[in-house]
C-alpha cells in the first residue's frame, strides 16, 4: 500500500483520440452510438416501469411485477436472464390513502402512508389532534400519555417556512434569512425538549401504541416546494402517515392555538406474509474469458412515496438499454458481461450483498463493476473509489468514448471513496473494482431522492440515452481490455478522527426480515 495521492481530475473532452476513434476507428463504438441514439428504447422502458408498474417497494406486488417484467423484456431481446432468490422480506399491500382536515374547516391534505404501516381497517378513522407534551419530566410525560387515547399525535418538528432555502437566500433580506433560521432552530429545540422523556425514535411509537393513540403523524421535509422524504413506519399497530410540510405546519398551528383540528384518515393497507426477494441477472457469455466478468449494476426496488423514477428507475432503464444494445452490436464479448438488477437496496444493499456472498467465483473473476444510482442528468464523474492503479484502465476506456458523450465527464483517481450507501459498496468491501457513474447530485437529493415527487416527468431522456450508450461503451472496452484492472488499494483520506479511513468490510447479507424495532 502507498499513501493516498492527491486526486487527479482528468477531463476527457480534451482528448482528440476520442473524437478520432468515434469517427473512423472502432465499428462497435460507432454502432453503440447509432443504436443508442437513433433507436433508443429508454422512453418506452421508463414509461412502463414508472407509470404502469409504479412503486417497487420491497415486499410488495410492485417489486415482483418489475422483476417479472424485466425478465420478460430480456428474453424478448434474446438475452439470457435469471431470477436469483436471495431471501425474503416483510410483505405489504398498499391501497388508496386519503386524509382530510374536517374541523375547524374542511380541506383535503397531502399525505402518504409510511411503508409497512397498518391501515384503518377498511373504514375512516376520525380523531382530534394532540401535540407533544409541554416541557417537563418523566412523570409529566407519563401523565400526558394518559391524555392521548383516540387522538392523532404529531411527532415531527414543524417548519416555519416551506420555501426552498436557496430561493429564500436569493430573494429575502439577509436579516430575514437570519431571523427565520433562528426561529427554526428554536422550534427544533422546543420540540426536542417536549419529546425528551418519551424515548428515542424507535421507543416513541411503541409508547404511543400502548397509550391507545389513534395514529402517528410525521413530516420529513426535503427542503423543496411540496416535497417530503417518505420512508418506513416503526409502529406496527397504529397507522403512521407523513403530511406535507405545508399541511403539517397548518395542523400544528391549529392545535397550538387551541383551534381544535380534527382529522379523518382512510388508509387501505395490510401486512402480508413474508415475500420472496430476487435479483434479476442478465448475461452475455464471454467467448475467450468466460470466467472473467464485467458487471453493469443498478437496484430495481424503490420507496413508495412516488414511482421511483430517478431512484432507481433511471439506473434500471440505463443498464437494461445498455445490455439491449450490446446484445445486438457485441453479442459475443471477450469477457462475460452481466447486468445485475438488485432487490432490497433501500433496506441496506441487501440483494447485491447476497449476490457477492453467493458468487465468490464471480467476485474473484470480476474485471470491473459500473453502478448507477442517482437520478437523471448526464453522467459527469467517475471516481476511482480508492483503487490506486485503476486510473490507466479507466482513462483508456474513456478515451474511446466519443466526445459527444465524454465532453463533460471527469475522472477522479485514485479517488477518496466519498460516496457510499449504494450497491457499489457491496463489491468494494470485497476488494472488487466498482465505480459509480455519477450524475449531478444536489437537485436529486433535494427533489426526487426518496420523495413524493420521484416521477416519470422528471426524466431527461436525451441524458438517459447518453448514459445508456456510455455504459455500453464502457462494458465493451472493459471486456476487450487485454489487462485486468489492478486491485491495489490506496490509503484513504483521514476521517473525523484525523486517521486514514479504513477500507470497507462486508457485513453479512440479511436474508430474512428483521422484527420491527
Tell me: the pLDDT tens digits for 122-156?
Answer: 899 999 999 999 998 999 999 999 999 999 999 99
Predicted pLDDT of residue 209: 97
Burial code (b: 16+ CB inside 10 Å, e: under 16) for 195-206 equals bebbeeeeebbb
C-alpha cell at 449: 431522492
C-alpha cell at 488: 491495489
**Does residue 233 share a domain with residue 370?**
no
Predicted pLDDT of residue 517: 52
Last residue of a domain, one of 230, 260, 290: 260
**Does residue 120 share a domain with residue 57?**
no
C-alpha cell at 467: 448514459
**Does residue 281 share a domain with residue 249?**
no
Beta bridge partners of residue 181, listed in sequence order? none
**Does residue 184 share a domain with residue 52?**
no
Please answer whether residues 227 and 446 qualify as being in contact, where contact means their C-beta atoms are separated by less than 8 angstroms.
yes
C-alpha cell at 102: 374536517
Beta bridge partners of residue 89, listed in sequence order? 275
* Confidence bin at 381 (pLDDT 50/70/90): very high
Taking alpha carbons only, the member of 473, 398, 469, 123 closest to residue 268 is 123
Residue 412 CA, distance from chain mean position: 23
* Confidence bin at 376 (pLDDT 50/70/90): confident
> Pairing mode, if any, of strands 335-342 and 289-299?
parallel
Predicted pLDDT of residue 375: 83
**Does residue 285 share a domain with residue 194?**
no
* Confidence bin at 14 (pLDDT 50/70/90): very low
Taking alpha carbons only, the member of 468, 332, 370, 475 closest to residue 41 is 468
Predicted pLDDT of residue 511: 97
How far apart are the C-alpha atoms of 463 and 93, rounded to whole Å?
Answer: 34
3 state SS of 282: strand
Give me the domain span that covers residue 132: 105-260
Number of domains composing the chain: 2
The DSSP element (H or E) to which 82 belongs, if any, is strand 80-103
**Does residue 244 share a domain with residue 333?**
no
Predicted pLDDT of residue 441: 87
**Does residue 401 share a domain with residue 305?**
yes
**Does residue 183 share a domain with residue 279?**
no
Please answer whether residues 458 and 397 qualify as being in contact, where contact means their C-beta atoms are separated by less than 8 angstroms.
no
Q: Backbone dihedral region of 472: left (phi > 0), alpha (psi from -120 to 50 degrees) or beta?
A: alpha
Q: Is the pLDDT of residue 427 over 70?
A: yes
Would residue 97 count as lying in a domain? no
Would residue 493 count as lying in a domain? no
Question: What would the mean pLDDT of 49-75 be, rounded to a whole number?
Answer: 98
Would residue 512 count as lying in a domain? no
**Does residue 430 share a domain with residue 318?**
yes
Q: Structure pTM? A: 0.94
- What is the number of helices (H) and of strands (E) in the chain? 17, 15
Question: What would the mean pLDDT of 426-442 be, rounded to a whole number?
Answer: 96
How far apart are the C-alpha atoms of 188 and 165, rounded to whole Å?
Answer: 17
How deeply is 421 buried, as exposed, middle or buried, from its count of CB atoms within 10 A (0-12, 13-18, 19+)? exposed
- Residue 49: CA atoms inside 13 Å, Cβ hemisphere, count? 35
3 state SS of 16: helix
Read off the pLDDT of residues 84-130 as tens digits, 9 standing for 90 and up: 999 999 999 999 999 999 999 999 999 999 999 999 998 999 999 99
For the chain, the first-to-last Cα distance in angstroms comes to: 41
> Pairing mode, if any, of strands 289-299 and 366-371?
parallel
Would residue 236 count as lying in a domain? yes
DSSP assignments along 130-173, one per residue: EPPPPS--HHHHHHHHTT-TT-EEE-SPPPS--S-HHHHHHHS-
Predicted pLDDT of residue 2: 39
C-alpha cell at 366: 470480476
The DSSP element (H or E) to which 428 belongs, if any, is helix 425-428
Q: Is the pLDDT of residue 10 over 70?
A: no
How far apart are the C-alpha atoms of 148 and 133, rounded to whole Å?
Answer: 10
> Pairing mode, if any, of strands 80-103 and 262-284?
antiparallel
Q: Higher pLDDT residue, 169 or 11?
A: 169
How far apart are the C-alpha atoms of 271 and 93, rounded to whole Å?
Answer: 6
Q: Is the pLDDT of residue 431 over 50?
A: yes
**Does residue 112 share a domain with residue 160?**
yes
Burial code (b: 16+ CB inside 10 Å, e: under 16) for 275-306 equals bebbbbbbbbebeeeeebbbbbbbbbbbbbbb
Read off the pLDDT of residues 215-239 as tens digits, 9 standing for 90 and up: 999 999 999 999 999 999 999 999 9
Question: What would the mean pLDDT of 262-282 be, rounded to a whole number?
Answer: 98
Q: What is the CATH number of the domain that holds 226?
A: 3.50.30
Would residue 499 count as lying in a domain? no
**Does residue 54 share a domain with residue 133?**
no
Predicted pLDDT of residue 406: 81
**Does residue 279 share a domain with residue 244?**
no
Q: Is the pLDDT of residue 455 over 90?
A: yes
Would residue 510 count as lying in a domain? no
Would residue 266 count as lying in a domain? no
Would residue 17 count as lying in a domain? yes
What percent of the chain has pLDDT above 70? 95
Residue with cell 415527487: 453
Amino acid at each position: 500500500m502507498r499513501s493516498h495521492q492527491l486526486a487527479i481530475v482528468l477531463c476527457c473532452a480534451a482528448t482528440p483520440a476520442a473524437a478520432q476513434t468515434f469517427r473512423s476507428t472502432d465499428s462497435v463504438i460507432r454502432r453503440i452510438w447509432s443504436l443508442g441514439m437513433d433507436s433508443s428504447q429508454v422512453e418506452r422502458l421508463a414509461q412502463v416501469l414508472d407509470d404502469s408498474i409504479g412503486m417497487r417497494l420491497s415486499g410488495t406486488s410492485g417489486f415482483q411485477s418489475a422483476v417479472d417484467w424485466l425478465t420478460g423484456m430480456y428474453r424478448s431481446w434474446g438475452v439470457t436472464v435469471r431470477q436469483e432468490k436471495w431471501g425474503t422480506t416483510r410483505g405489504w399491500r398498499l391501497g388508496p390513502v386519503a386524509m382530510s382536515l374536517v374541523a375547524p374547516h374542511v380541506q383535503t391534505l397531502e399525505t402518504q402512508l409510511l411503508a409497512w404501516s397498518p391501515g384503518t381497517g377498511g373504514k375512516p378513522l376520525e380523531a382530534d389532534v394532540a401535540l407533544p407534551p409541554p416541557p417537563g419530566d418523566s412523570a409529566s410525560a407519563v401523565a400526558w400519555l394518559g391524555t392521548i387515547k383516540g387522538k392523532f399525535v404529531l411527532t415531527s418538528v414543524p417548519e416555519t417556512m416551506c420555501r426552498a432555502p436557496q430561493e429564500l437566500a436569493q430573494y429575502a433580506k439577509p436579516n430575514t434569512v437570519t431571523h427565520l433560521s433562528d426561529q427554526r432552530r428554536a422550534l427544533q429545540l422546543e420540540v426536542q425538549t417536549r419529546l425528551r422523556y418519551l424515548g428515542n425514535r424507535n421507543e416513541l411509537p411503541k409508547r404511543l401504541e400502548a397509550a391507545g393513540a389513534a395514529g402517528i403523524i410525521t413530516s420529513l421535509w426535503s427542503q423543496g416546494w411540496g416535497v417530503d422524504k417518505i420512508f418506513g413506519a416503526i409502529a406496527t399497530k397504529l397507522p403512521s402517515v407523513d403530511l406535507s410540510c405545508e399541511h403539517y405546519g397548518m395542523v400544528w398551528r391549529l392545535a397550538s392555538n387551541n383551534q381544535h383540528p380534527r382529522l379523518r384518515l382512510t388508509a387501505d393497507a395490510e401486512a402480508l406474509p413474508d415475500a420472496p426477494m430476487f435479483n434479476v441477472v442478465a448475461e452475455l457469455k464471454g467467448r475467450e474469458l468466460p470466467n472473467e466478468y464485467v458487471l453493469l449494476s443498478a437496484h430495481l426496488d424503490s420507496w413508495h412515496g412516488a414511482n421511483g423514477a430517478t431512484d432507481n428507475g433511471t439506473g434500471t432503464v440505463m443498464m437494461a438499454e445498455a445490455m439491449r444494445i450490446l446484445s445486438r452490436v457485441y453479442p459475443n464479448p471477450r469477457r462475460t458481461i452481466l447486468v445485475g438488477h438488485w432487490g432490497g437496496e433501500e433496506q441496506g444493499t441487501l440483494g447485491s450483498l447476497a449476490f457477492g456472498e453467493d458468487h465468490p467465483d464471480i467476485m474473484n473473476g470480476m474485471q470491473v463493476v459500473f453502478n448507477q444510482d442517482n437520478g437523471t442528468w448526464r453522467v459527469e464523474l467517475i471516481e476511482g473509489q480508492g483503487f490506486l492503479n485503476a486510473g490507466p484502465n479507466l482513462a483508456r476506456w474513456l478515451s474511446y468514448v466519443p466526445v459527444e458523450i465524454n465532453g463533460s465527464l471527469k475522472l477522479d483517481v485514485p479517488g477518496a471513496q466519498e460516496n457510499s450507501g449504494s450497491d457499489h459498496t457491496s463489491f468494494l468491501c470485497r476488494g472488487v473494482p466498482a465505480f459509480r457513474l455519477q450524475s449531478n447530485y444536489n437537485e436529486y437529493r433535494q427533489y426526487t431522492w426518496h420523495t413524493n415527487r420521484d416521477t416519470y416527468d422528471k426524466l431527461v431522456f436525451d441524458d438517459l440515452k447518453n448514459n445508456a450508450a456510455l455504459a455500453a461503451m464502457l462494458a465493451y472496452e472493459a471486456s476487450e481490455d487485454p489487462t485486468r484492472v489492478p486491485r491495489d488499494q490506496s490509503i484513504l483520506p483521514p476521517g473525523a478522527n484525523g486517521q486514514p479511513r479504513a477500507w470497507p468490510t462486508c457485513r453479512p447479507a440479511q436474508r430474512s426480515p428483521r422484527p420491527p424495532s
